[in-house]
Amino acid sequence: MKAITVERLIFKFLMRGKRRMEERHFLLFASFLVGVASALAAIALKQVVHLIQELLTHDLDVGAANYPYLVYPVVGVLAAGVFVRYVVRDDISHGITRVLYAISQRKSRIKPHNMWSSLAASAVTIGFGGSVGAEAPIVYTGAAIGSNLGRLFRVAPKSLMLLIGCGAAGAIAGIFKAPIAGMVFVIEVLMLDLTLTSVMPLLVSSVTAATVSYLFTGMEAMFRFSQTEAFEIGRIPYVLALGVACGLLALYVTRTMLWLEGVLRTMGYWRRFVLCAAILSALIFLLPPLYGEGYDAIALLLGGHPGELMDKGLFYGMKDSYFGIVIFLSLVLLAKVFASTATNGGGGCGGVFAPSLYLGCILGFVFAHVSNYVEFTRYLPEKNFALLGMAGVLAGVMHAPLTGVFLIAELTGGYDLFFPLMLVAASSYSTIRVFESHNLYALRLAQKGELITHRKDKAVLTLLNLDSVLETDFEAVRPDMTLGDVVKIITRSGRNAFPVTDGDGVLLGVVKLDEIRNIMFRPELYDRFRVSRFMVAFPARIASSTPMDQVMRIFDDTGAWNLPVVDEAGRYLGFVSKSKIFGAYRKVLEDNFPGD
């Protein structure tokens, strides 16, 4: 009881402070709180994952096949799946996609359980060896913290969206100790507009989260990278070629993952779990670097110890072979997307942030390793190109070149390679844009017309929904009614159009007041004319599931001012008008997109 009283006192104190502050000043304070909470959540998740991994793998034999790899990942995926299915009872997979959906379709509202459920599920999934990353769950957690804190203090819709961005920025900054990357990630991936209104809260949240992370885990960069060879201008063609390779690998990851998820979606839960568990355990047993996030593998490649990746597996005897390493790492490149999809498809919880860094590091290393074997090519530092590959694949998968550049520079302290990082990120992004216009997170939402974008007009239309502008006060008539019956309805109606429906409510046409004005004042015709004779067809009908941008396109194509809305069976639901849409459009624009 005492704890509840203290909480209420604190809440009342904060609410009193909010009323005395301007909204923009309170947002700075709220973004500070969100930054602290997001960083603590990120640190807790990383610590729990590392603790579980250490307990499970510390005594495995370096030079032999380790059969526990057949079991550990399956146990983790099963435990996470049961937790989500029977405890959470909600979809918490694809965290960043869920954040985008909340911004686009749920008025920036994320359920309270998402502040902890993704943490618990991903900790078990990754700790037991699931081949995914913790970043998407922690971004979802940070966004949920921002959303629920904003709702607690009853902030305006535009501020609620901004606090979601603050949570995501704080999560990235906290887990990677990368405040700049946290801000840029929100702008590029979550697609929030950068204005004077939004830049300060994002900055406060990112810097606060990074500071908290520094306090708990030290000032060192996440990966220790020492640049022993300076970048040379003559290597620019090779950097650009690596960028193209990164873009193509990102395309492979995107399309293969979406295809596999589509196949798995057609199966029942337990059948899907059995198949995914078999794939995951077999791949990790054969290729142990697929175990967990893969950051240990990145550290080995950046440290110049690629042979150690073959420890604890069947390929241990090939660790000193030049091409043995290439073949082994090439298999890992191809198999990683299958392992990640099987982890999530089987019921686990994780993202593709860490797998993107992992794949990029391996690709960059293999690219330089193979090039150095060819006599007529320029020597390429393998550690440097492994670092560049991380930025390239991340930029391609996420369609976020600036995030790739700043994140890798902050992760490793490799600021001396800033120029080649920019080159490889731009090359990779340009390559994948030829084939895909959206990143992996946004692709499903874009296909459904549910994605908010940097194009403000389309973004506003995405935030609108048809139900909010549907008008249902049009009185319907039947085709067998007489003109006299219609005149009686007209006298009590304030509308000038009357939908015609059959006995099942299916829309047949419309009676327009202007079309019958010349006969409606002639009583002698009231019993001679029936609705079926003077009703007319609509220029178009709008299905209830039609996205708002397509609705506006239909209005533009037909030149109509009012159009009927029907369900899948063609039954009449109501009318939608341009004037109603324009009014709602203006309201959404004012609420969600503040000016500078």
Mean pLDDT of 457-480: 72
- Identical fold, 233-458 and 462-592: no
In this prediction, residue 596 carries a pLDDT of 42
What CA–CA distance (Å, rounded) separates 190 from 184? Answer: 10
Which burial class, exposed, middle or buried, applies to 211 when counting CB atoms under 10 A from its CB (0-12, 13-18, 19+)?
middle
- The domain made up of 462-592 has a fold known as CBS-domain (3.10.580)
What CA–CA distance (Å, rounded) separates 48 from 484? Answer: 77
Q: Write out pLDDT tens, residues 344-397.
A: 999 999 988 899 999 999 999 999 999 988 877 778 888 889 999 999 999 999
Assigned CATH for 18-217: 1.10.3080.10
Contact 91, 85 (CB under 8 A): no
More confident residue, 550 or 74: 74
- The domain made up of 233-458 has a fold known as Clc chloride channel (1.10.3080)
Give residue for tokens 């081949």: 131
The count of residues in the chain is 596
In this prediction, residue 451 carries a pLDDT of 52
Give residue for tokens 């390239």: 392
Tell me the residue type at 493.
Answer: S
Q: Write out pLDDT tens, residues 72-119.
A: 999 999 999 999 989 988 888 777 878 877 776 666 788 889 899 999
Bridge-based pairing state of the strands 562-566 and 542-543: parallel
Which tokens belong to 481?
């009614």
Q: Write out pLDDT tens, residues 510-530.
A: 888 877 877 877 887 878 888
Mean pLDDT of 198-208: 90
Query: Does the pLDDT value for residue 8 go beyond 70?
Result: no
Give residue for tokens 């690596």: 242
What CA–CA distance (Å, rounded) separates 7 from 29? Answer: 18
What CA–CA distance (Å, rounded) separates 89 from 45? Answer: 21
CA distances from 29 to 26, 60, 153, 205, 542 (A): 5, 48, 12, 9, 45
Q: Which of 165, 168, 167, 175 shows the shortest CA–CA distance to 133?
A: 175
- Number of separate helices (H) and strands (E) present in the chain: 25, 5
Domain boundary assignment for the chain: 18-217, 233-458, 462-592
Identify the three-state secondary structure at position 543: strand
Query: Does the pLDDT value for residue 10 go beyond 80?
Result: no
Which tokens belong to 416?
């001396």
Q: Which of 230, 341, 372, 203 shows the shortest CA–CA distance to 279?
A: 341
